[in-house]
Amino acid sequence: MRGTVQELATFFEVSLDMLCIRDMDLRFVRVNGAWETVLGYSIAELEGAPMLPLIHPDDIKASSGHMERMREEEEVMGFVNRYRHRDGHYRNLEWRARRVGDLVFGVARDVTERLAIEAEIREAKLAAEAANQAKSDFLANMSHEIRTPLNGVIGVVSALSQTELTPAQSEMVGLIQSSGVTLERLVSDILDVSKIEAGQLEIEMHVFDLRHELEGLLDMNQLRAQEKGLGFAVDYGEAARGDFHGDVTRIKQVLGNLLSNAVKFTAEGEVRIKIEVVDSDQSEAPAVATFEVHDTGVGFENDFAATLFSRFTQADSTITRRFGGTGLGLSICKSLIEMMGGEIVAESRPGFGSVFRFTLPLMRERSLSEFDAGGAHAPEATLDSGDFAREGHAALRVLLAEDHPINQRVIHLILAPYGAEVTTVENGALALDAFKDGVFDVVLMDMQMPVMDGLAATRAIRRYEAEHAVSTRTPIIMLSANAMSQHRQEALAAGADLHIAKPVNATALIVGIAATLEPTDEMRQAPADIAQTQVAQTQVG
């Protein structure tokens, strides 16, 4: 027994933790020297003294509860409360205690600094999240503000291109169109980078037909290659057909960037695309799709291959002077491919061309009965007659809700050659009133307007149709400078049939209207999202 007492005394003396023994009346029976080190009280002052007066008033209730629990329980761990220092400030103590008979043996550790650091980390994390959110909000607003005047530029020049022009005028219009599309691509790239940095860019999984979805993209780049006198070849592997699960929009974004670069940096020779799919032996495992873009262009040193996928980096400083570009395209491609579970690499020799290759895991859709309506293909439409002749009415009746005068004029200019009758209002409330009083074949709705915005107006129109048992549902197309994915989802959720991002060009608007007037079976199952048909002149890196 004497040895045990001596060992306990030695332990009390050498321990760096605050050791104490208390009785059931919540009085110190024994403490060690660490209490004086941490709180400034001598051992003599504490032994025999009550514990509660040292505890912060706000912590007394919780502390008393834990102490009372020790009458029924043998052990309490991890409890933190504040004890007053001799000079008046408080320290945070973390407790572990065990009851032995009528005594409680406790060990306390000063965690004041640790808790302060944790609080600073939490505050810094919250501040960083708030800053990221503020940045995202700012970029979204800037996107909207930039796209609004861009809509005027691209929309007007798109309408102008459909008129009779002299060769010189046609060349000038083409230059304006090219510059406008490049500027819009730059805005989109900056938004993509900001969303990737903030972790807000999402991969959307839908069912898509591989060849069908790539057809338009490949045809467009073939035309661009032919304009430069280049050969253009597409080689599909035998298994590269059928329906797959994946984000086809992002796949096309990456492939479009690589093809645009290949055509841009190739002065003579050809551009070749090879697409192969290797199915897994296991039915539940994804297939592996490989996309290769070969060109006979300027090429670059292989040492630069990895660097190319870094932001704001290009293989040669002369590239910026010769072709322009900010060095964002390939870094976005790399981020997108990796988010989809794939990888992208590049190989090249100066003067002998380049090969860009990316691989992706894609689940094959093996049964049409499993078609995902949420991933319906963007509808295609053709205008053979050049107008919108409607049954019983010669001209298309359009209700346009748009508060910006230039954007109003853009829509009128685009639709004028088709003989459409356009009724224009400046806000959503007026759009609802006009809808109730008139008969329209389609509604073109801006998203952001005063008095009542486009989302609220769309919901109100759908409620009106339901309440009055309207037999024919009027298509609503959202025209919005809000081009982020959540904005498209908000539009469709409000009851819109399509979402067309500004700047609106003539082709996208006409195809969109035609698609809503004669919806496909897929569109009847779920609203579709019409993508812009113009492809930007993207650049390396």
Strands 231-236 and 270-278: parallel
* Residue 482 confidence (pLDDT): 65
* Domain match, 438 and 352 both: no
Coil/strand/helix, residue 447: coil
* Residue 28 confidence (pLDDT): 93
How many domains is the chain built from? 3
Structural domain span for residue 301? 137-375
- Evaluated on CA atoms 408, 410, 411, 415, the torsion sign reads positive
**Most confident among 188-202, 464-478, 498-512 (mean pLDDT):** 464-478
Mean pLDDT, residues 315-333: 58
What are 61-77's pLDDT values in tens digits?
998 888 888 888 888 88
CB distance 371 to 377 below 8 Å: no
End-to-end CA, the chain? 79
* Residue 531 confidence (pLDDT): 33
* Residue 512 confidence (pLDDT): 86
* Domain match, 414 and 473 both: yes
Helix axes 329-339, 167-197, angle to 10 degrees: 50
Q: Compute φ and ψ for 145, nearest 5 degrees.
A: -65, -35
* Domain match, 85 and 228 both: no
* Domain match, 181 and 310 both: yes
* Domain match, 260 and 335 both: yes
CB distance 491 to 499 below 8 Å: yes
Q: Which of 277, 259, 254 is nearest to 334 (CA)?
A: 254
Residue 208 has pLDDT above 90, yes or no: no
Residue 496 has pLDDT above 80, yes or no: yes
Strands 442-446 and 421-425: unpaired
CB distance 288 to 277 below 8 Å: yes
Portion of the chain with pLDDT greater than 90, in percent: 36
* Residue 510 confidence (pLDDT): 87
Coil/strand/helix, residue 369: helix
| 223 vs 10, higher pLDDT | 223
* Domain match, 178 and 96 both: no
Please, where are the H alpha helices in 416-453? 428-437
CB distance 414 to 439 below 8 Å: no
Residue 136 has pLDDT above 90, yes or no: no
Q: 95: domain CATH number?
A: 3.30.450.20
**Most confident among 137-151, 194-208, 499-513 (mean pLDDT):** 499-513
pTM tops 0.85, yes or no:
no
**Most confident among 143-147, 488-492, 501-505 (mean pLDDT):** 488-492
The answer to whether residue 177 sits within a structural domain is: yes
